[in-house]
Amino acid sequence: MMRALYSLLTYIAQPWLRRKLARRAKVEPLYGEWVEQRFGHYDDAFHSLPQPATAAGGAPVVWLHAVSLGETRAAAALLARLRESLPGMRLVLTHGTATGREAGKALLQPGDVQVWQPWDTPSAVGRFLAHFRPDVGLLMETEVWPNLVAGCAQRGVPLCLVNARMSDKTYQQSRRLRWLAGPAYRGLHAVWAQSEADAQRLRALGATVQGVLGNFKFDATPDAALLARGRAWRAGAGRPVLMFASSREGEEQMLLDVLKQKWPLAQVDIARSAPESIAKGAQTSVRMPFQLLVVPRHPQRFAEVAKLFADASYSVSCRSQWGEAPETADVWVGDSLGEMALYFGMAHVALLGGSFATLGGQNLIEAAACGVPVFMGPHLFNFTEASTLAAEAGAAQRCEDIAHAVTEAAATAGDAARLHGMQEAALGLGAAHRGAALKTATEVAAVVRRVAVTAPAGC
């Protein structure tokens, strides 16, 4: 009854979704492509895959949903292990965001397909499942949708939540919507959680948690070529590089306010010190003790962030303008996709985006894998486990606000012994927590084999 009401609302919301996609496409054109896939319609380019593993001799069809960029990057480690455990598997890779879909191209092999996640109406979900006929469905981290779960259950497709996490905020929201969330979590075939705290919350909602396997983002390996280039550029910067990693809306202004306070722009006193070539009223800045590198989380904000610092009279150079090396400027803006290893390679220390505004933080594991110490704000509710592990290992530091974080980051960048210690702790963090991807792939492969054994012949 409740899901029927929810389904009606999702059906009514379809025109709104189309308008939203059209608006997003003005900034990120990928949102305007293959729109009908979101409603379960596929043209000839997306033909049905061969018979699934339940047919005699068929290769397994694995559907993996990685909604956005972070989940897609994490999926790389799992997919590498899955291809080893399930030779010849065919992949159906779905996403909800343009950044996720762009990054997902690198994960495809011949015979795989990549499409948008179906909008959560019974009809769109039904067409998706009928078209691709997956043997197993894997939802990354948090992506549990009521009609997706129900549709898979009706068709006998085991749907699993992998690398699962659940913040206390999400848990409380799900409890308030337990009439809808409860059946969805209970309907999952299996859940493998990142931490025991995540597992406890998921169990409380009715999910079948079969294990706590850790976070397979620790298994991801940074692109060695990008990392090496970044480190070479860092060496040529001439001063420590402080990176604001995955900054979110409102946080850049917070940082700018700190910069203005600590390294203010001052009017030039022409009568006493300024050369005649400088016009009256011109401004100069007290040079920051570090090179600032800002990498916004969302590409639609690249130009906005660059303009914010330029309007404050800081010189700005964007990655898209560089040739063989970064241009000289007060602020570098990382306005490219798929180059986080490059940016972390350039950084001596980093501020964690999403943790200074009440947004729950971002994944800091990639920074650790690149040996970059992280300074975090107080809002980490979406990544409690990873941030706690990093802080306990000495690879990251919690700070009360962004002013505190900038002060600590700048001090660390200027203290060779402390910087080296945190860099070593960051590299050690990943080494200590690897293995979740292999464990998860082993569990998923067992599910696929059980499906192949128990399915009726000719299914």
pLDDT tier at 44, thresholds 50, 70, 90 = low
pLDDT tier at 56, thresholds 50, 70, 90 = very low
Residue of 28, 33, 36, 71 with catalytic role: 71
Which pLDDT score is estimated for 262? Answer: 84
Question: What is this structure's pTM?
Answer: 0.80
CB-based contacts of 214, cutoff 8 Å, min separation 6 = 194, 195, 433, 435, 436, 439
Residues of the chain with pLDDT > 90, as a percent, come to: 74
Query: CA 346, CA 371: separation in Å to the nearest integer?
Result: 11
Residues of the chain with pLDDT > 70, as a percent, come to: 90
Asked if residue 309 lies in contact with residue 294, where contact means CB atoms within 8 angstroms, the answer is: yes
Range of lowest pLDDT (226-230, 264-268, 388-392): 264-268
Range of lowest pLDDT (48-62, 194-208, 239-253, 383-397): 48-62
Please indicate whether residue 366 is annotated as part of the active site: no
Asked if residue 334 lies in contact with residue 293, where contact means CB atoms within 8 angstroms, the answer is: yes
Q: In this predicted model, which residue has the larger pLDDT, 35 or 69?
A: 35
Which pLDDT score is estimated for 286? Answer: 59
**In this model, does residue 94 exceed pLDDT 90?**
yes
For 283-342, what is each residue's pLDDT tens digit?
555 577 899 999 999 888 999 999 999 999 999 999 999 988 999 999 999 999 889 999
Query: CA 421, CA 459: separation in Å to the nearest integer?
Result: 58
CB-based contacts of 254, cutoff 8 Å, min separation 6 = 356, 357, 402
- Tell which residue, 286, 235, 294, 280, has the closest CA to residue 262: 286
Element (H, E) at 5: helix 2-12
Which pLDDT score is estimated for 284? Answer: 52
Query: CA 237, CA 171: separation in Å to the nearest integer?
Result: 45
Which pLDDT score is estimated for 285? Answer: 52
Query: CA 77, CA 79: separation in Å to the nearest integer?
Result: 6
How much is the mean pLDDT over the chain? 89
For 411-433, what is each residue's pLDDT tens digit?
999 999 999 999 999 999 988 88
